[in-house]
Amino acid sequence: MSQYEVLWAGFGGQGIMVAGQLLAYTGIKEGKNVVWIPSYGPEMRGGTAYCTVVVSDKRIGSPIMNLVQAACVFNRPSFDKFCPKIKPGGLLIVNSSLISAQTDRTDITEILVPANQMAIDAGNVKAANIAMLGAFVGATGIIKPDNLRAVIHEKLGKKTAVLEVNMTVLEQGLELGKKGIRQRQKA
């Protein structure tokens, strides 16, 4: 990996910014150059929210880009808006609990993650963002899962019950991401 760009998008309140920040903090922990750029709609909770994270082994020339290598989308409007912004050969991670559509693009890898259902089953729907983050890291390997676990403990570990839910869905997401890439490689 020299540089990797990922867009996180959904409604305000879905933990989009937190997922992006956790990825950025983990990149920093690994000594990489990182940029995290948030963007909010006019209203916070329930409005459009997205952020771009760039993780690189070298200096980041510009954090602004028209196309990204990956997008993690949490709702249908984000799916429709950002799917075309993924570079050929890129990755699309879809919260299939809230998005019933699939892309017709054959030049990218699409991984469906029932993030809301995973979080509900684990005990807290607010952990859906961690399921998506796990799937992204499992699919890309741009950061080490052990470092991500440590950052989640550090940043979200104040409530033991919430931490347990987050760690459960993180592990499930990591496996889904790895499995999705393995299936794509076999095809």
Q: Would you list the DSSP string of 137-171?
A: HHHH-SS-HHHHHHHHHHHHTTSHHHHHHHHHHHH
* E strand residue ranges, the chain: 3-11, 33-40, 48-56, 68-73, 86-95, 109-113
Query: Do 174 and 137 touch, CB atoms closer than 8 A?
Result: yes
Contacts of 95 (CB under 8 A, 6+ apart): 10, 73, 74, 75, 113, 114, 115, 116, 128, 132
Check whether 86 has a pLDDT greater than 90: yes
Q: Is 7 helix (H, G, I), strand (E, B) or coil?
A: strand
Give the whole-angstrom CA distance, residue 82 versus residue 67: 9
Give the whole-angstrom CA distance, residue 146 versus residue 54: 20
| CA distances (Å), origin 106, targets 22, 54, 76, 179 | 30, 24, 19, 18
Residue type, 107: D
Amino acid 147: pLDDT: 98
Domain span at 105: 3-186
Amino acid 159: pLDDT: 85
- For residue range 11-54, list pLDDT tens digits in order: 988 999 999 999 999 999 999 999 999 987 665 566 779 999 99
Beta strands 48-56 and 68-73, pairing class: unpaired
Contacts of 48 (CB under 8 A, 6+ apart): 9, 11, 12, 40, 41, 77, 78
Give the torsion sign (CA, 27, 98, 94, 83). negative
| CA distances (Å), origin 171, targets 34, 37, 108, 138, 168 | 24, 26, 24, 9, 5
Domain count for the chain, please give it: 1
Amino acid 69: pLDDT: 97
Q: Say which residue, 86 or 160, is predicted with more confidence.
A: 86
Amino acid 46: pLDDT: 63
CATH number assigned to the domain comprising residue 91: 3.40.920.10
- For residue range 165-180, list pLDDT tens digits in order: 999 999 999 999 999 8
Amino acid 161: pLDDT: 85
Q: Is 119 helix (H, G, I), strand (E, B) or coil?
A: helix
| pLDDT confidence bin for 102, thresholds 50/70/90 | very high
Amino acid 184: pLDDT: 67
